[in-house]
Amino acid sequence: MAFRHAPIAMLVADSGGHILEANKAFGALADRTPSSLCGQRWPELLAEGDRATAWDLHRAAMAIAGGGGSRVLRLGTPGNAPPRMVVEVRTLPAAESPAAENGTGDGAADSADSGDAVPSARPGHTEGGGARRTPAGVAILFREPLPDEETLRILTELRTENAGAVLWSLDLRTGRLSELFGPSPLGRTLAGDARDLEDCLARVHRDDVARVRDALEASHQGRDYEQRFRMFDRSGDEHALHARARFVDGDRPRLIGIIDDVTEHVQLVRRLADRRRIEAAQGRQVTELAAKLVSATTIDEVTGLLTEEFVPIFGGTTAHVMLVVDGVLRASPASTRKTDAIAMIDGRDAADTDYPMGAVVQDRQPRFFESRAEALERFPAAAEIMHHTSAQSWATVPIFGDRRVALGVWQVAWNQPHHATPDERALMLTLAGLAGQALQRVSRQQAELELADAMQRRLLPPLIPGFDALDIAVRYLPARAGWRVCGDFYDVIQLPDNKVGLVVGDVQGHGVEAAAAMGQIRVAFRAYATNQGDPGTVLAETNRLLGETGEIVFATCGYLVLDLASGEMQAAWAGQPPAVVATSEAFELWEPETGPPVGVDADAKYPVSTRRLRPGESLLMCSDGLLESSEFTMDAGLRQVGTVVRDRHDEGVQAIATTLTELIPAGRGDDIAVLAIRRHGSGD
């Protein structure tokens, strides 16, 4: 009686949606007698556009006891504007169903007998397949929206339908989840019919579930809830979710809140982070390659960087550099294998503007073509060249020198259409500018090296005299430490009385001043050696001469006079490393008594040490650049050098000198002078 005469319009329906009972208030609302409504499906009483939503509410309520939800829907009344009503669906236990009291048959069975397809939940089964109790029916309440309630509900529905959100409530005593206003698209995707907290937690990413549980435990103490976590939907796809809720106290403590799907936001953040990492890596790569350009020492090294190492920065397939040489274009590096297309350009007049490279050289403006059609429209004469390449797009930029003189062009090609972004274009022009500076620097260095080499050749003896009783080998290696004109020297001086003077020295410092001092000392040695038979006197006179010039010049050197007939050696040493004397069986170090380096003390005296060089023995004199460096001791260098002289003894002094200049125990941090002799014996 309370149901029939209640002031709120109500229906009772079975699990299939068939109306079992309608009260008088609903009959008045629908302008129908309550008895005439029995047996109809209650969602069919709504406006056609709202029936699907009504079925969603019905299925959600039937999914589990205590389920339900509400929506603002339109009631279908013929001939009138459909009134908008708050439709709330609640589940009813079987014992409380009016149909059970009146003996009405099972609505689900009636539905099956009707032969109509009823979009209802599968009774008796959870989503995972386990058995559960299913409510016998539902109660549907219809009431007019309160002031502003309809507006709020519409905004809420739009929020949940179009923004990937769920408005949810969790009963903290039972662990039952429900959606405040009925099923939402995101709720159906994530949970389907599941309304149990544990069923939903089973889909949370295993790395996040402990954190989610800990936060829920804190909510039992009256705290609000907020977590970001990952969850798999019913299809197995991963979602990133942001859940927020307020704690509501009372007889039924609850969390009421919203879950937002932030997957796209997380993916965007990841993409941005990946992009930043890629850009940072590219920035480091560009910096490293730019440093290589700055330190490059040859033209081929500069152009090799452009054609090989810079290309991956832009995702290009190939790259080529054409330099302007005597008015024509030449491919560089010269050792690179030329494709048919490049071979057709190599040697072409650099002023030929019918082709992209010539046009770039002449007007010094870059050219970017995203397709073959675009390139051919501007340069139809290039059609024949394009037949010999698979490239589809090109970027051709000038390589500038001083006063914006075009030294050549750098062309990057792609095997697919490619749009060069403004950042890519700016970077290409920057790198081409650095390459132009590097090319000019290398060219100037090359000219300086050629001048230095010519100067060094003039300072060293142009021709070593020959002796029947003596084999002689000399070598000179400039340092690789940024200078070429250095102070190391050697000399072989033909003396009277069948004697020969042997000199090896090392002037302190490097560069033109050291080389000039070296030239002075070598000339002084020759002048004094011709008039003085005593090597100590020659060193003393040379030392005095350096003091009289007033220049601060120091040099270590060793001067040895060899009697070719007797093999007697007289040596005066000024801080020079020991000499190596060897046969094919052994080697030993000869350390003549030494005085200070020449140029230190103008009054210094240089004692003379004597030793005999036997027939068949070899002797090596060298500067300290061969023997020691900051990482390599002289003792270790002398052991290696002595071993080489011994092992190569039978092959001759030329083999000894060549092996030493290939081995270079101490590296090339300093210049090196080597003088090796072997005295002939019987049978030699």
Question: H-helix or E-strand containing 385?
Answer: helix 383-386
Each residue's pLDDT tens digit, 512-526:
666 667 777 888 888
| Higher pLDDT among residues 552 and 443, named by residue | 443
Sequence-distant (6+) residues with CB within 8 A of 337 are none
Classify the phi-psi angles of 296: left when phi > 0, otherwise alpha if psi is within -120 to 50, otherwise beta: beta
pLDDT at 176: 85
Amino acid making up residue 677:
I
Band of pLDDT at residue 123, cut at 50, 70 and 90: very low
Structure tokens at 401: 């020198």
Examine the pLDDT at 633 and tell me if it is beyond 50.
yes
Question: H-helix or E-strand containing 659?
Answer: helix 653-663
Average pLDDT, the chain: 83
pLDDT at 486: 61
| Higher pLDDT among residues 130 and 681, named by residue | 681
Phi, psi of 527 (to 5 degrees): -65, -50
Rounded average pLDDT over 622-651: 91
Examine the pLDDT at 163 and tell me if it is beyond 70.
no
pLDDT at 510: 60
- pTM value is 0.45
Examine the pLDDT at 152 and tell me if it is beyond 70.
no
Cβ atoms of 197 and 240 within 8 Å: the answer is no
Q: In what order do the strands lie in the sheet with 84-92?
A: 19-22, 9-14, 137-143, 84-92, 68-74
Mark out the alpha helices in 414-573 (DSSP H runs).
422-459, 512-531, 535-549
| Higher pLDDT among residues 195 and 87, named by residue | 87
Examine the pLDDT at 108 and tell me if it is beyond 60.
no
Distance (Å, whole) CA 413 – CA 394: 5
Examine the pLDDT at 498 and tell me if it is beyond 60.
yes
Rounded average pLDDT over 482-503: 82
Distance (Å, whole) CA 558 – CA 569: 12
Each residue's pLDDT tens digit, 303-317:
988 898 888 888 899
Quick one: CA dihedral 450, 456, 462, 465, positive or negative? negative
Distance (Å, whole) CA 106 – CA 15: 8
Phi, psi of 183 (to 5 degrees): -60, 140
Rounded average pLDDT over 126-155: 68
Sequence-distant (6+) residues with CB within 8 A of 526 are 491, 493
pLDDT at 525: 85
Cβ atoms of 557 and 544 within 8 Å: the answer is no
Classify the phi-psi angles of 153: left when phi > 0, otherwise alpha if psi is within -120 to 50, otherwise beta: alpha
Rounded average pLDDT over 424-431: 89
pLDDT at 158: 64
Q: Any idea which of 172-186, 208-222, 639-653 has the lowest mean pLDDT? A: 172-186
pLDDT at 530: 86
Cβ atoms of 640 and 577 within 8 Å: the answer is no
Each residue's pLDDT tens digit, 234-268:
888 999 999 999 888 877 888 988 898 898 888 88
Mark out the alpha helices in 31-106 (DSSP H runs).
34-37, 51-63, 98-102
pLDDT at 451: 67
**Percent of the chain at pLDDT above 70?**
84
Rounded average pLDDT over 144-165: 69
Quick one: CA dihedral 659, 661, 662, 663, positive or negative? positive
pLDDT at 280: 74
Mean pLDDT highest for which of 98-102, 242-246, 567-571? 567-571
Q: What b/e readout covers 432-441, taking b as 16+ CB neighbours within 10 angstroms?
A: bbbbbbbbee
Quick one: CA dihedral 519, 520, 521, 523, positive or negative? positive
Rounded average pLDDT over 44-58: 89
Residue with tokens 């050697």: 490
Examine the pLDDT at 105 and tell me if it is beyond 60.
no
| Higher pLDDT among residues 174 and 578, named by residue | 578
**Percent of the chain at pLDDT above 90?**
38
Rounded average pLDDT over 572-593: 95
Dihedral angle over CA of 105, 111, 112, 115, nearest 10: 140
Cα within 13 Å of Cα(625), Cβ side: 28
Q: Any idea which of 177-191, 399-413, 433-447 has the lowest mean pLDDT? A: 177-191
- Radius of gyration for the chain, computed over Cα atoms and rounded to the nearest angstrom: 49
| Higher pLDDT among residues 477 and 481, named by residue | 477
Examine the pLDDT at 330 and tell me if it is beyond 80.
yes
Distance (Å, whole) CA 539 – CA 525: 8
Each residue's pLDDT tens digit, 543-566:
888 777 666 678 899 999 999 999
Question: H-helix or E-strand containing 87?
Answer: strand 84-92
Structure tokens at 223: 């705290």
Phi, psi of 242 (to 5 degrees): -125, 110
Rounded average pLDDT over 30-55: 90
pLDDT at 277: 79
Rounded average pLDDT over 165-178: 85
Rounded average pLDDT over 96-113: 40
pLDDT at 219: 87
pLDDT at 155: 66
Distance (Å, whole) CA 576 – CA 574: 6
pLDDT at 150: 65
Distance (Å, whole) CA 208 – CA 198: 14
Phi, psi of 538 (to 5 degrees): -60, -45
| Higher pLDDT among residues 269 and 560, named by residue | 560
